[in-house]
Amino acid sequence: MIYQRLLSLFSPRRYLQDRNETYHPPGNSLGQRQWILSRSLCLYRIFVMGDIPSDERKNALKVRIRQWSPFCSTGNYVIWHEETAQVWIWDESARQDAAKKAGADVSAIFPETVFYPKPERDELRLVSCMEGMDAQIWKRGILAASHWWPDIPSAKEWSRFLAAHDLNPAIAVPAPEDIPWLAHPWGRNTGEHSFSNLPHERLWVSAVMMLFAFLFIWESVGLWRWHETGNSIENRIAALTREVEPLIEARNRATKYKADAERLISLVSAPTQLALMSAVAEKLPPKSVFLAEWHYNQDNLSFVLQGANLDPRYYVETYQKLSYFKEVSAERGQIADQLAVKMKIEK
């Protein structure tokens, strides 16, 4: 039972990215965080490197991938089979943007294809993917060719694919295969984006799981010893909570009453519009200037003066001196003989 729980605890967390969105893994597993790219986001081809010395093949492959890739920033997954490199590439900048948006800090990146089991013999098959269809030609344990379509290919598309890879174009389109995923990829990445190449990885994982099992048993014994004490403390906390609940309720009511009283006091102490308008009018030159507009909204007052020789500085300084007003400003109105004045009400 504990072993099964630990297996679940350390199972991989897989983020699945297709052309439209990213699917987040459920649960809170502590296992490896994996980013899996839909086949639709990858390009695939093989490189036969038999004409290059074995110690130079990896560097030569990097050059060929750069020449082949249409992306500014290229991610890749490479599986070697003797002298043949099976290569998937993708737009690494777009993948990083999707990972950042998903909040995913992953330790390994895989193309979807490596989780579908390899056939035991040479085979031509059409695999149903996360989205779309992947046509695969397998020869001597190597994925010799792969082509993706968003849906089942037409007879014409299928014939062109077969002819491009020296197969009989008259072969009919096979039924798509819905193949369950493997627990682990069938090939280990040796490309530039190889995050997880730890030797004997399963052995290390098993050792860590055994350590966690030991710690779990040790902690379980301690928790069992403290179980009764914990129950007693919980009962005491519940009793104290019942005792203080009336006090907390009374305090909340008092706080509400205080806030209501302060709000009422502020409303009573605020000057009336009549008082404000009288204060404004007293400072206007008689007969030559009059109020054209008046706007009052709680703590804010604005009005428009109309008349000749309106000096903004005079009205700012004049109204700023009155006890009712603060933060006074004035500017020319839309009409030549108007002045717009704004201020806050001092309570």
Q: Which residues contact 129 (CB under 8 A, 6 or more apart)?
A: 38, 39, 40, 112, 148
Domain boundary among 178, 198, 218: 198
Residue 299: which CATH number?
3.30.1360
- Tell me, rounded to whole angstroms, the distance of Cα 61 from its chain centroid: 34
| 39 and 183 within one domain | yes
More confident residue, 104 or 129: 129
User: Between helices 201-225 and 2-9, what is the axis angle to 10°?
Assistant: 120
Please check whether residue 179 lies inside any domain of the structure: yes
198 — pLDDT class (breaks 50, 70, 90):
very low
d(CA 215, CA 208): 11
More confident residue, 345 or 224: 345
Please check whether residue 256 lies inside any domain of the structure: no
Whether residue 3 is predicted with pLDDT greater than 50 in this model: the reply is no
Please check whether residue 225 lies inside any domain of the structure: no
Cβ atoms < 10 Å from Cβ of 137: 19
The overall average pLDDT reported for the chain is 85
Whether residue 157 is predicted with pLDDT greater than 80 in this model: the reply is yes
Domain boundary among 175, 198, 221: 198
At 26-45, the pLDDT tens digits run: 765 667 889 999 999 999 99
Please check whether residue 261 lies inside any domain of the structure: no
At 49-107, the pLDDT tens digits run: 999 999 999 999 999 999 999 999 999 999 999 999 999 999 999 999 999 998 888 88
State the SS3 of the chain.
CHHHHHHHHCCCEEEEECCCCEECCCCCCCCCEEEEECHHHCEEEEEECCCCCHHHHHHHHHHHHHHHCCCCCEEEEEEEECCEEEEEEEEHHHHHHHHHHHCCCCCEEEEHHHHCCCCCCCEEEEEECCCCEEEEEEECCEEEEEEEECCCCCHHHHHHHHHHCCCCCCCCCCCCECCCCCCCCCCCCCCCCCCCCCCCHHHHHHHHHHHHHHHHHHHHHHHHHCHHHHHHHHHHHHHHHHHHHHHHHHHHHHHHHHHHHHHHHHHHHCCCHHHHHHHHHHCCCCCCEEEEEEEEECCEEEEEEEECCCCHHHHHHHHHCCCCEEEEEEEECCCCCEEEEEEEECC
More confident residue, 23 or 194: 23
Domain boundary among 149, 183, 198: 198
Please check whether residue 229 lies inside any domain of the structure: no
The domain of 192 spans 2-198
Total structural domains within the chain: 2
Cβ atoms < 10 Å from Cβ of 72: 8
| 194 and 278 within one domain | no
